[in-house]
Structure 1
Amino acid sequence: MLRSLIRLYLIVLLGGGLAIVFVDQSFSQLFHHRVTQNVRDSVKAYAFVLTDYLERHPGEQRAAALAELQQHGEEGFSLLTMKDVIPVLDTEQLRDLRDGKLVLSMDAKDYYLPLPDGTIVHAHPDEPGNLDIKALAYSLVALATLLSVVLWVHYHWRDLRKLEAAARAFGRGQLSTRADLSKKSNIYDLSKQFNEMARQIEASILHQRDMMHGISHELKTPLARLEFGLALLQSPESPERQRERQLALRRDVRELDELVTELLTLSRLEQGAAHMVLMQVSVSELLDSVAASMAHDVADRALSLSVITAGAPVSHVCDPKLVARALLNLIRNSTRYARHAISLSACLGPAGALVLIVDDDGPGIPITERSRIFEPFHRLDASRDRHTGGFGLGLAIVHRVALVHGGEVRLEESASGGARFLITLPSVPLPAAVGTPGGATAIQDKRGFATKLMV
C-alpha cells in the first residue's frame, strides 16, 4: 500500500506542478487582452498621478524627476520613444499606445504608459522576493494534497483488501464466498462482477459434482449386472439358458452404450454453439419427420400422435438435427406417461420466434418438481426408474438444445391435465455459408430426413 500511495502522490504532485507552471507561463498570453484591461482598470489612478507628475517636469527635468521617483520604489522606470518600442510590441499594442492607453507586455512584466507629448514611460517593477511565503503556501498545498490522497487511498485500499480476501477464500474452496461492499465504494461494480463470476463458477462446479455423482450411480447397476452375468456364464447350464444369459449381457452393453452416447451429447451441448450447424429448415417437414420416426413406438403403445402446424412459420433457421433430437426426447418422455394422445405442434412466437409444443394427456408433473425436471439424472420418484424414465438425461438435453439456440424450454400443464413442454427458438439470421448449394432449404424428404435424425 505504501508504494502505491507514494506513486500516486508523486504523480499528483507532478501533475499539479506542471499545471502551476503552465498557468504561470501561458495564461498571461492566452488571456492577454483581458489581463491588460484589468490592469488598466486597477492602476487608473496611479497612471493619472504619474502622468500629472511627469507633465509638471517637462524636457530634461523629466529624467531627473523619474530618478527621484525611482528612489522611493523598485519600478525600474525609463523613458522611451515610439521608435524604441516598435521592435518589442505588436501592431495592436502599438495602436493602443497611439490611442493613449496603457500597454502590458505579453509576459505581463512590463508596462508602457504614453504621455501627451509622445514620450513613453517604461516600467519594469521588481517582484517582491517572498520566497518563504511562497514555499509555505506550496507546502500547505502539498500537505493538503497528501491528506486527500491518503484519505482516498485508505477507503479504496480497504475495499480492495476485502475483495482480495474474498478471492483468497474462494480459491481455497469456499465457493459460497462473496465480496460484500457498499454501493458507494469505488470498486462496487468490480465486486458485482466478481460475485457474478463466483456464482457462475460455484454453479458450474456443483453441476459437475452432481454430474459425476449421477454418472457413477448410473454406471454401477449395468456394470454389476455384467459382472454377475459373466460369472453365471461360467456355470454349466443348458444351451437355451446360456443364450438367454448372452442376450441379457448384450442388453446391458447396449444400455451402457446409450448412456455414454447421452453423456457425450450433453457434453457437446454444454460447450455452447460451437458444434451447431444452422440452416433454413421447413417447419412442417421437420415436425412430420420427427412424427414419422416415432410412429412405431406410438403405435406399439396404442397412442395417437397428431401434428399441428397451423399458424407456424413456413421455415426457421436452426440446427435441425439438434431440434429434432429435443423433440424426439420429449415425445419419448410423453409415450411413457400418456394415456391416449400426444400432440406435436408449432406456432409463431414474439419477434419471429418459433415455438414448438409437445402435449400429452398423462398424469402431469407436480408443481414442486417442475423446477428440477431439467436437471441431469433427476427422476420424479422411484416408480420412474430406468425402465420407465430412461437415464434422466433426455430433458437435460432438451434444455441444452434450447439454450444453445438462444432460447428456452418451459413446462406447463396441458388442457387435458398432462404435461406441456414449450421450446422457444428465437429468430436468427441465416449464416453466410450454409450447408447446401445456393442456400436451399437443407432438408430431405420425410423418410430420408427421419433416417438421418436417427443416426
Structure 2
Amino acid sequence: MNRLFLRFFALVMLSISVATIAIYVSITVFFGDPLEEVAQQQASGQILLLTEYVDQAGQNEWLTRLNKIREITRARMDLIPMQPVLAKLNQTRRAQLMRGEVVIDVASKSFYRRVDLKGERYVGSDEEVIHAQNLPIDVAPVLKTEALRYIIVALCLLIPIAVWSSSHWRGLQALEKVADEFGAGHLKVRAQTKERDSIHPLAQRMNQMAARIESLLDAQKNLLHSVSHELRTPIARLEFALELLRNAAKNPQLEPRMQAMEADISELNALVSELLDLGKLDQDASLNRSEFDIANSLSSCVASLQHVLDVHVVNTDFSVDLGTYCGDQRLLKRAISNLLRNAAKYATACIWLHASRNADGSLEIMLEDDGPGIPAEERERIFDAFFRLDRSRDRSTGGFGLGLAIAKKAIAAHGGEIVVQEGQYGGARFVISLPAISLSVLQHLSPVNPSNSGLTN
C-alpha cells in the first residue's frame, strides 16, 4: 500500500517538474529567454552609454568616446573580430548580431554588438564586434524567485493532494487489513467505514462479498458436519444388528457375508472420520502449538504405519541439523502419515522419506515412491477432496480421496506448501516446505487452541 502512494507522489513531483520545464520552453519560444531579458535590463546602463553616447559621435570621435567609457565604468569593452564570435553563437543569436542587435551572454556576464554595419566608424569596423565584459548581471535572485514561485505552486498542489489521498490511504490500509484477516480464515471480520468516506461503496461491496462467502462456507460446513453425524446413527444401528445376527445365526455360510458387511461398516466409519477431520480443518485454522523434535516425529509416523508399510522398504534420511520445530505436532504427523499411506498404495517396492534444513532455516520434507507416478496435468487436482486418479484401484486398496486434501490443509495451516514432482525413480515425489518460525512468533500470531487436537493420527 505504501508503494502505491510513493509512486503517486513521485508521479505528481515528476508532473510538476515537467510542467516547469514546459512553461520555460514555451515562454522562451514565443517571447524569448526571460533570463536574457532580465540580464539586458541589468546591463541597460552600459548599453545606453554605447548607443546614446558612443554611437552618436562622429567618425573621428567614436574611439575617443569608447575609451572614455572604459575609464569611467567597471565594464571592460574590447574590439574583437566578428568571425570567432559568430562561430560561438547559435543561428538565432548569429542573426541578431548580424542585424546589429545586442546579444547577451548571461553565463559570462557580457554582451556582443557589431561596431557598425557599413564600416563607417573606421576602416574595417563592419568586421569587428564590441565585447562588453564584467557587466552587473546577476540572475541568481531571479532564479531564486522563480524557484520559490514553483515551490509555492507545488505545495499548493501537494498539500490538498496529500490531504485528499491520506483519507484514501487510511481507508485502503483498513481494507487491506480486513482482506488479510479474511484470507487468514477470520470470516466474521468486516470493513468499518463512514458513509462520507470515498471508499465506502467499495467497502460495502467487499462486506457483501465477505458475507456471501461466509454464508456459503457455513452452509457447506454445516452440511458436511450434519451429514457426517447423521451417518453415525445408521452405522451404529448396522453394527448392532450385525452383532445380533452373528450371535443368532451360527451358519458358517453366512460368515463371509457378515465379514463383508463389517468391512463396509468400517469403511463408512473411516469415511465419516475423514469428513469430520476435514471439516475441523476448514472451520478452525488455529493450531495447538508446541516445540517438538522433527526426526523423532517422522520416525514415529513410520513406526505407527508398519502394518501398512511392511511389504515395502522405507528408506529414511534425516539431516543432523533438523532440530526442533514449533507447530501442531499431531496435525503435521497426520499429514505425513497420509502421505505415507498414499505412497504405500502405489509404491512397487521402495519408499524414501527425506528431511533437511534449508539455508534460510526453513524445513523441507520429501517423500517419494517408485510407483507409476502422477501425470503433470493432475498434480494440482489430487489435493481436491474426493478426487482419485484410479478409482478402481482405490476401491481395492481403500481410500476416499480425502487424505491428500487433509495433508495440504494441515501444511497450509502452518504457512507452508506441498507440491508434487516427478520422482527420481519414476514415481511421485511430494515436497513439503515449512517456513522457519520461532515459538515466540507463533504464540504471537494466535493463542493456543487445544480444540484442534481432536484430529486422529
Normalised to the residue count of structure 1, the TM-score between the two structures is 0.46
